[in-house]
């Protein structure tokens, strides 16, 4: 997958995307965050995922993830070598049912992100949520205005349902204008207990969405790609109640046995198998990994150049209890 940078040259996206939801916060302070970014770049990583609201749920400075990344980019003087994706249009935390997808609101978020990241442009700008009552034509049109202004180079959707992605992609193709280049939904090898999700505005990858990705050659940049470490933690008998609530089910117990078998046969770790399952999909898939320390990041990066053949993918995808 290639993206154009501000000089109109092409940058190849790294196979793993570094998540930054807690960067700069009390969970991952600035010094440790910069260390993770240094390691990621040193290992060939160039795709960083953030959002204007990341870590705003914690006490402290707003947009601290973007600001931490922006400071790192300024120190390293490497902006044109990195692919920065950030997200806007997230509802206010106190009113998650009230959409913020008007042109005015999105532009305000975008300009705030540009300032926080200390950059003149965003490589890929994500709409963090959707508003199914707002016409896709209006949204795609104003995103194209942002492209023409140079504020963003590409744009994508996050937590959009399949039918809405199709409507938006078809409209852009019909008008011969820029459309979504990628989709960022919740997706991992683990089957999610969707009914236990507290945030009902999140959208999980499903059969219909995968068909959209295949049909339109739409890239996937999935978050929660390691299912909060479910399979690794299961192997170590250290599952928290929160992770059990989301992922403990018969399908994943069967999947765990399959992951273990593949890991043993291939000489891989459980984490390797879980990430390689995603990077081996028939459409471009770049998992977002949310690592809290260098050990976790090094473990995730090991899977970046691995691929499974169709036979192994089919074996992993077959669940006895599904």
**pLDDT category of residue 104 using cuts at 50, 70 and 90:** very high
Average pLDDT, the chain: 94
pLDDT of 32: 98
- The residues with which 83 forms a beta bridge, in sequence order, are 47
Q: Which fold has domain 2-230+274-308?
A: TIM Barrel (3.20.20)
Q: 153 pLDDT exceeds 70?
A: yes
Q: 321 pLDDT exceeds 80?
A: no
Q: 220 pLDDT exceeds 90?
A: yes
Around 27, how many Cα atoms within 13 Å sit in the side-chain half-sphere?
A: 15
Backbone angles phi, psi at 125, to 5 degrees: -105, 120
Annotate 143-188 with DSSP letters as a single string: HHHHHHTTSEEEEEEES--HHHHHHHHHHHHHHTS----EEE-B--
Residues 51-99 have pLDDT tens digits of: 999 999 999 999 999 999 999 999 999 999 999 999 999 999 999 999 9
pLDDT of 303: 76
Share above pLDDT 90 across residues of the chain, in percent, rounded to a whole number: 92
Residue 2 three-state SS: strand
**pLDDT category of residue 320 using cuts at 50, 70 and 90:** low
Q: Output the six-digit token pair for 46.
A: 């160039």
Q: Where are the domains of the chain?
A: 2-230+274-308
Mean pLDDT confidence for 108-121: 98
pLDDT of 9: 59
pLDDT of 158: 98
**How far apart are the C-alpha atoms of 236 and 231, rounded to whole Å?**
9
Q: Position of tokens 């440790």?
A: 32
More confident residue, 11 or 20: 20
- The single-letter DSSP state of residue 27 is S
pLDDT of 216: 97
Annotate 256-300 with DSSP letters as a single string: HHHHHHHHHHHT--HHHHHHHHHHTSSS-B--EE--SSHHHHHHH
pLDDT of 3: 60
Q: Position of tokens 């965003």?
A: 122
**How far apart are the C-alpha atoms of 31 and 151, rounded to whole Å?**
29
**How far apart are the C-alpha atoms of 190 and 173, rounded to whole Å?**
34
**How far apart are the C-alpha atoms of 182 and 218, rounded to whole Å?**
5
**How far apart are the C-alpha atoms of 10 and 228, rounded to whole Å?**
33
Q: Output the six-digit token pair for 119.
A: 């950059």
- The residues with which 158 forms a beta bridge, in sequence order, are 184
pTM confidence score? 0.94
pLDDT of 8: 55
pLDDT of 268: 93
Mean pLDDT confidence for 169-177: 98
pLDDT of 62: 97
Q: 318 pLDDT exceeds 70?
A: yes
Residue 47 three-state SS: strand
Q: Which of 60, 64, 58, 141 is nearest to 106 (CA)?
A: 141
- The residues with which 126 forms a beta bridge, in sequence order, are 87, 156
pLDDT of 11: 77
pLDDT of 304: 73
Residue ranges in the chain assigned as alpha helix (H): 30-42, 64-76, 103-117, 136-148, 162-175, 207-216, 230-235, 241-247, 250-266, 270-279, 294-301, 310-317
Q: Which of 188, 52, 181 is nearest to 129 (CA)?
A: 52
Task: Work out whether the CA dihedral 46, 287, 294, 113 comes out positive or negative.
Answer: positive
| Strand pairing category for 10-12 and 47-49 | unpaired
What's the distance, Cα to Cα, between the start and end of the chain in Å?
32
pLDDT of 2: 56
Residue 218 zone, left/alpha/beta (φ > 0; ψ -120 to 50; rest): beta
């Amino acid at each position: 997958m290639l993206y154009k940078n501000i000089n109109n040259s092409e940058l190849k996206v790294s196979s793993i995307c570094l998540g930054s939801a807690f960067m700069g916060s009390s969970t991952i302070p600035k010094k440790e965050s910069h260390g993770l970014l240094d390691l990621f770049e040193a290992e060939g990583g160039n795709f960083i995922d953030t959002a204007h609201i990341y870590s705003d749920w914690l006490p402290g400075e707003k947009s601290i993830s973007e600001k931490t990344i922006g400071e790192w980019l300024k120190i390293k003087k490497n902006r044109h070598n990195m692919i920065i994706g950030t997200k806007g249009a997230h509802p206010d935390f106190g009113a998650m049912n009230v959409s913020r997808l008007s042109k005015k609101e999105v532009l305000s978020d975008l300009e705030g992100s540009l300032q926080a990241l200390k950059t003149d442009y965003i490589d890929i700008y994500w709409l963090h949520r959707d508003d199914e009552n707002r016409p896709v034509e209006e949204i795609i049109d104003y995103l194209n205005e942002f492209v023409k202004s140079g504020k963003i180079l590409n744009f994508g959707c996050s937590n959009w349902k399949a039918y809405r992605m199709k409507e938006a992609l078809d409209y852009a193709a019909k008008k011969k204008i820029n459309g979504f280049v990628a989709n960022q939904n919740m997706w991992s090898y683990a089957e999610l207990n969707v009914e236990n999700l507290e945030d009902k505005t999140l959208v999980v990858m499903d059969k219909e969405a995968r068909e959209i990705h295949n049909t339109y050659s739409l890239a996937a940049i999935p978050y929660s790609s390691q299912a909060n470490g479910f399979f690794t933690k299961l192997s170590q008998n250290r599952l928290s109640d929160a992770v059990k609530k989301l992922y403990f089910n018969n399908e994943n117990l069967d999947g765990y046995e399959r992951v273990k078998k593949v890991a043993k046969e291939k000489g891989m770790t459980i984490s390797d198998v879980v990430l390689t399952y995603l990077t081996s999909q028939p459409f471009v898939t770049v998992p977002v990994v949310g690592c809290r320390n260098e050990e976790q990041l090094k473990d995730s990066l090991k899977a970046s150049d691995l691929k499974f053949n169709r036979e192994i993918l089919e074996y992993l995808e077959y669940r006895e209890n599904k």
